[in-house]
Structure 1
Amino acid sequence: MTFISYAQNFEDIRLWRALKSEKNGFYLDVGANHPTEDSVTRAFYDHGWRGINIEPVQAYYDALCQARPNDINLQCVAGENADGLTFYTIADTGLSTVEASVAQQHRDAGMKVSKRTVQSRTLTSICEQYAQDRPIHFLKIDVEGHEETVLRGMDFTRWRPWIILIETPWARDQTWENLVTDAGYQSILFDGLNTFYLAEEHLALKPAFDIPPCNLDEFQFCKGHKFSHPLSEPDQQLSAALQRAERAEAQLHALQNSRTWRTLQKVRSLVRRA
Structure 2
Amino acid sequence: MPFISYAQNFEDVRLWRALKQFENGFYIDVGANDPCHDSVTKAFYDHGWQGINVEPMQNFYDALCQQRPRDTTVQCIASDQPGEVTFYGIPDTGLSTADPAVAQQRKDLGMNVHPLTVQARTLTSICEQHAADRPIHFLKIDVEGHEETVLRGMDFSRFRPWIIVVETPWLRDHTWEPLVTDAGYQSILFDGLNTWFLADEHLNLKPAFDIPPCNLDNFHLCRGHALAHPLTPDEPDTARQLAAALHRAEQAETQLHALQNSRTVRLLQKLRNTLRSA
| TM tier relative to shorter chain | 0.7 to 0.9
Q: Which residue of 2 aligns with 1:171?
A: 171
Q: Which amino acid aligns with 1:112?
A: N
Q: Which amino acid aligns with 1:95?
A: L
Shift in Å at residue 239 of structure 1? 7.1
**1:14 has 2:14 as partner:** yes
Q: Which residue of 2 aligns with 1:199?
A: 199
Identity of aligned residues (%): 71
Q: Which residue of 1 aligns with 2:147?
A: 147
Q: Which amino acid aligns with 1:8?
A: Q
Q: 1:46 to 1:239 in 2, by over 3 A?
A: closer
Residues 223 and 229 in structure 2, CA contact (< 8 A), matched pair in contact too: no
Q: Which residue of 2 aligns with 1:85?
A: 85
2:103 counterpart SS class: helix
2:15 counterpart SS class: helix
- TM-score, normalised via structure 2 length: 0.83
Provide the rounded CA distance (Å) in 2 between the counterparts of 1:51 and 1:7.
16
1:103 counterpart SS class: helix
Q: Which amino acid aligns with 2:163?
A: I
Q: Which residue of 1 aligns with 2:43?
A: 43
Structure 2 unpaired stretches of 5+ = 241-278
Q: Which residue of 1 aligns with 2:70?
A: 70
Measured on the aligned residues, the alpha-carbon RMSD in Å equals 1.6
**1:136 has 2:141 as partner:** no
Aligned length: 239
Q: Which amino acid aligns with 1:226?
A: A
- After superposition, residues 1-274 of structure 1 pair within 5 angstroms as 1-229=1-229, 235=235
Provide the rounded CA distance (Å) in 2 between the counterparts of 1:213 and 1:31.
24
Shift in Å at residue 238 of structure 1? 5.9
Shift in Å at residue 169 of structure 1? 1.2
2:235 counterpart SS class: helix
Q: Which amino acid aligns with 1:101?
A: A
Q: 1:230 to 1:183 in 2, by over 3 A?
A: closer
Q: Which amino acid aligns with 1:228?
A: A
Structure 1 unpaired stretches of 5+ = 241-274
Deviations 1:100-126 (A, max 9, x none): 111000110011111111000001110
Q: Which residue of 2 aligns with 1:247?
A: none
Q: Which residue of 2 aligns with 1:258?
A: none
Q: Which amino acid aligns with 1:125?
A: S
Provide the rounded CA distance (Å) in 1 between the counterparts of 2:23 and 2:34.
24
Shift in Å at residue 235 of structure 1? 3.5
Q: Which range moved further: 165-174 or 51-60? A: 165-174
1:235 counterpart SS class: coil
Shift in Å at residue 229 of structure 1? 3.0
Deviations 1:128-157 (A, max 9, x none): 000011000000000011101100110100
- TM-score, normalised via structure 1 length: 0.84
Shift in Å at residue 231 of structure 1? 5.6
Provide the rounded CA distance (Å) in 2 between the counterparts of 1:16 and 1:91.
30
